[in-house]
Structure 1
Amino acid sequence: MKQAQLNKQLAVLATGILTFSGVLIETAMNVTFPDLIQQFGISTKAVQWVTTIYLLMISIMVPLSNDLIKRFSIRKLFMSANLLFLIGVVLNAIASTFGLLLLGRLLQGIGTGIALPLMFHIILTYYPLEKRGTMIGVGTLTTAIAPAIGPTYGGFLSSVFTWHAIYLCLIPVLLCSLVIGLRGIPEISVALTSKLDVPGIIGIGCFFTGSLLFLNQLTQPIGWIGLAFAMIGFGLFFYRVKTTKHPLVRLDVMKQKSFRIFLFGFLVCQFLLLGISFVLPNYVQFVLGKTSFIAGLMMLPGALVGALLAPVAGKLFDRRGPKYPILLGLSIACIGWLSLALFMQMAQVSLLVLGHVVFMIGNGLCYSNMMTMGMNQLAKEAYSDGNTIYNTLQQFSGAIATTIVAVILGFFQTIPNTSIVQGTTSGSIVSVLTLSLLLLSSLIASSYYFLRRKK
């Protein structure tokens, strides 16, 4: 019994380390774009593919992993994800051409896209309901904190060494994850019960490819071609969901209102995390004149607070139920988030750090518990589909949030007769206030749910 419990913990730890590494470099590379443009002689639009191709592969692989989990053992999937990610990291550590850098990012996206849902699959399958809140809190710690730590990690290594060090330092971490996984994840055969939905894969691949192309080329004609491509892809995917016996993802879980409420809240938390990770560093550099390293460093206190609160919030969920941590967390997050809009008018780093810390306290209390509460609404046989929907939309919502705040900032920065400082200040405040509408909507929806539940 003790050995089985240890193996479960090692399995979550191994997949958690791998997932953390994948999400970490999602934002760690953002501070290196000026260096990449200069080194490879490429444009700003071209360098965006360092992030775009990574998010694209994750978005495609997460729903595909829903099928892979039914076909291959957890051990085989973990080894494949770790080795693909490791190969991609090694390629980027030695990359001397832009093409090799993109190839490495592609492989990392595939590895992360497998590891992310695999971690939550292990938690949902092998941990009882009364311990699930704590373990999902530990699991979501990786996806909630890593994006905030990424800019500090990338800024420090690229300023002291070169951007190659971002990947070089991950190699021993990934090897450690591989050793832990091989030690803790047993080989359990899986009975093949379904056929691979190839048209569904093509449809969802087209949908995400077209959507990301549209988001990255919003003002260009090719962006609208991407949107049409995305709509065709979604139509094919939805048709397969409705007509085939073994679709890539079953969307029946979306019929449950309670599941939708907490899925929405979870995605709002992700929206805010990625949105502020873009807004604050830009504000600090353009308005306050600080370096990229300082801009990334100021995100660290909030990230550490969130890291400490994630497992604590899960234990609170298990002991006190969902209402207290979710509603308290959303309320505190609203206070912190709106204070950021106020503090941006004062232009002081210390106040911005304070506002971010308060927001991360609230976010840390409710973020993972939103996923726990949503998944608890489902029957056991629907866990895999619910897990896939959560993790797929989580990645995609991050891309959307970044695009929204980038468009708002770009609009205000290019207003005639407006300085870059004035434009960035106005754009940052409007971005925060715009996303605050989503946060308030989530608070209202969650409050309404618990009120009706009480009655």
Structure 2
Amino acid sequence: MKEKKIHLLSAVLATGIMSFAGVLIETAMNVTFPTLIEQFGISTGMVQWVTTIYLLVISIMVPFSNYLLKNFSIRRLFVVANLFFIAGLVTDLWSPTFTILLVGRLLQGISTGIALPLMFHIILNFTPMHKRGTMMGVGTLTTSIAPAIGPTYGGIMTANLSWHAIFLFLLPVLAISLVIGLFAIPEMPVKKTGALDLISLIGIALLFSGLLLFLNQLGNWSSLISLVIGIVGLLIFYRQATRGKNPLVRITVLKNKAFVLFLCGFLVCQFLLLGISFVLPNFIQIVLGKDAFIAGLVMMPGAAVGAILAPISGRILDTFGSKKPILLGLSFAMVGWIALTLLLRSPLLLGFVAGHVFYMIGIGFSYSNLMTTGMNLLSEADYGDGNTLFNTLQQFSGAVATAIVATIINLAQQAQTDFIAATITGSQLSLLVLLGLLLAVFIACLIHFRKKPVLG
């Protein structure tokens, strides 16, 4: 019997649509925070859990997906992920309380935690090497552009309809993804490899949960308990990863220093994407007094520029190598980020648009190419572990970035009586912290490429 072949472009499109919806909804909810705070009577620190719990679940699910991909067909995983997402959308469309809203976000997190590694698994295993940069550019388009489009989409829905509509209009999108996926992804046999390392999964859950709680509780003694929980989780995970028979993730790939460099660069870009998607829309609403629609609209030009550049930058990498697009991209990103940081003291909407566009030009050139370059440094046998590390830490770094900027702004608001002035101070401090990380990555990449002038 002839084995059915995967329709590569359609399969990437189907999983990409689902992943795009998952990442879009991360930041689409950010513009609703002032509305949610008022409606549910909660604080800035509490409302950010709408994003944080979602990213936390994804961070736990992605390494679990490494096991799933080795033991279940990609068609079955695709269908399960799609149905979980739809269930989460329906739950949040109805949600009358903040708790139920979080339950829906949890279901969506399970889906996205399967969809993202599934998309990159298809790209890495079915795309020829000479086309991989371009296809990775298309794939990472979902994780680089969606955070920027999210506030625009969320702002339009919230200002003209209701924040519930954010979930309503994604239902037909998921239906389209399901139809395309059922056509493009055939049922292919999977050679099951190993049992689930449940202890590793528990360790990861304790690690990520403890660290996120620690960041959210900074300033309170209870944060130390959360930090201890995170450290215990790290020790459990490390022990299993180095001594276990079937670890969820083999961390031996981290011995490759160049791979670690590009992984860190990729994660810093994710920090910035999620950080600015939290800071800027809330700043525009709280400090400038604009509505959610305007807050989202400011992000739209940058999102469009990033969307255009993502696949183009992958083609540039395929043609010229990784040095030029990565260094050029990081340079543009720094200039745009510095402009945004300075503008918080002299806010101007058009200035925010220009700074964000410049920053997104940089992300468009560097973001996907950092991941592609890092993955190209690994052997085919290590693709699964490398893919898991990129996607797991990508989502966790997004949760950490959201928690950090929310905590900095929240602490500033509590320390000053002038709420508006405190929000300005907190927003600027949070962007300065992220700028320091971006500068460190740029310097590290510059040193690396000077040592190795040619790198595919």
Give TM-score, length-normalised by structure 1: 0.94
C-alpha separation in 2, matches of 1:49 and 1:363? 26
How many angstroms does 1:89 deviate by?
A: 0.9
C-alpha separation in 1, matches of 2:42 and 2:360? 36
What does residue 290 of structure 1 align with? 290
Q: 1:343 to 1:32 in 2, by over 3 A?
A: closer
Deviates more, 1:262-271 or 1:5-14: 5-14
C-alpha separation in 2, matches of 1:265 and 1:35? 34
CA deviations over 1:71-129 (Å, ceiling 9, x no partner): 00110110110111111111222233444322222111101000011101110111111
User: How many residues end up aligned between the 2 structures?
Assistant: 452
C-alpha separation in 1, matches of 2:430 and 2:104? 33
Q: 1:197 to 1:5 in 2, by over 3 A?
A: closer
C-alpha separation in 1, matches of 2:350 and 2:174? 35
What does residue 392 of structure 2 align with? 392
C-alpha separation in 1, matches of 2:88 and 2:409? 33
C-alpha separation in 1, matches of 2:310 and 2:354? 19
C-alpha separation in 2, matches of 1:43 and 1:258? 42
Name stretches of at least 5 consecutive residues in structure 1 with no aligned partner: none
What does residue 85 of structure 2 align with? 85
C-alpha separation in 1, matches of 2:88 and 2:286? 33
What does residue 174 of structure 2 align with? 174
How many angstroms does 1:429 deviate by?
A: 2.9
How many angstroms does 1:131 deviate by?
A: 0.7
How many angstroms does 1:21 deviate by?
A: 0.6
How many angstroms does 1:227 deviate by?
A: 1.4
The residue type equivalent to 2:105 in the other structure is: R
2:48 matched to 1:51? no
1:186-335 → structure 2 map (5 Å cutoff): 186-335=186-335
What secondary structure does 2:233 align onto? helix
C-alpha separation in 1, matches of 2:325 and 2:230? 37
How many angstroms does 1:218 deviate by?
A: 2.0
What does residue 422 of structure 2 align with? 423
The residue type equivalent to 2:294 in the other structure is: I
How many angstroms does 1:343 deviate by?
A: 2.9
Name stretches of at least 5 consecutive residues in structure 2 with no aligned partner: none
Deviates more, 1:255-264 or 1:200-209: 200-209
What does residue 437 of structure 1 align with? 436
What secondary structure does 2:187 align onto? coil
Instruction: Give percent identity, aligned residues only.
Output: 58
Q: Does the 8 A contact of 1:87 with 1:104 survive in 2?
A: yes
C-alpha separation in 1, matches of 2:16 and 2:353? 27
Q: 1:99 to 1:288 in 2, by over 3 A?
A: closer
C-alpha separation in 1, matches of 2:9 and 2:262? 26
What does residue 454 of structure 1 align with? 453
The residue type equivalent to 1:432 in the other structure is: L
What secondary structure does 1:19 align onto? helix
CA deviations over 1:43-74 (Å, ceiling 9, x no partner): 65554433232122111100100111000011
Q: 1:290 to 1:98 in 2, by over 3 A?
A: closer
What does residue 68 of structure 2 align with? 68
How many angstroms does 1:11 deviate by?
A: 0.7
C-alpha separation in 2, matches of 1:6 and 1:204? 33
Q: Does the 8 A contact of 1:286 with 1:420 survive in 2?
A: no
More relative contact order in 1 or in 2 (CA 8 Å, sep 6+)? 2
What secondary structure does 2:452 align onto? helix
Give TM-score, length-normalised by structure 2: 0.94
Q: Does the 8 A contact of 2:158 with 2:293 survive in 1?
A: no
What secondary structure does 1:189 align onto? coil
How many angstroms does 1:403 deviate by?
A: 2.5
C-alpha separation in 2, matches of 1:82 and 1:364? 28
Q: 1:192 to 1:223 in 2, by over 3 A?
A: same
Q: 1:6 to 1:61 in 2, by over 3 A?
A: closer
How many angstroms does 1:36 deviate by?
A: 3.6
CA deviations over 1:134-181 (Å, ceiling 9, x no partner): 111111111111111112211211222222211111111001000000
Deviates more, 1:86-95 or 1:315-324: 86-95
What secondary structure does 1:407 align onto? helix
What secondary structure does 2:145 align onto? helix
What does residue 350 of structure 1 align with? 350
What secondary structure does 1:174 align onto? helix
What secondary structure does 1:298 align onto? helix
What does residue 374 of structure 1 align with? 374
The residue type equivalent to 1:174 in the other structure is: L
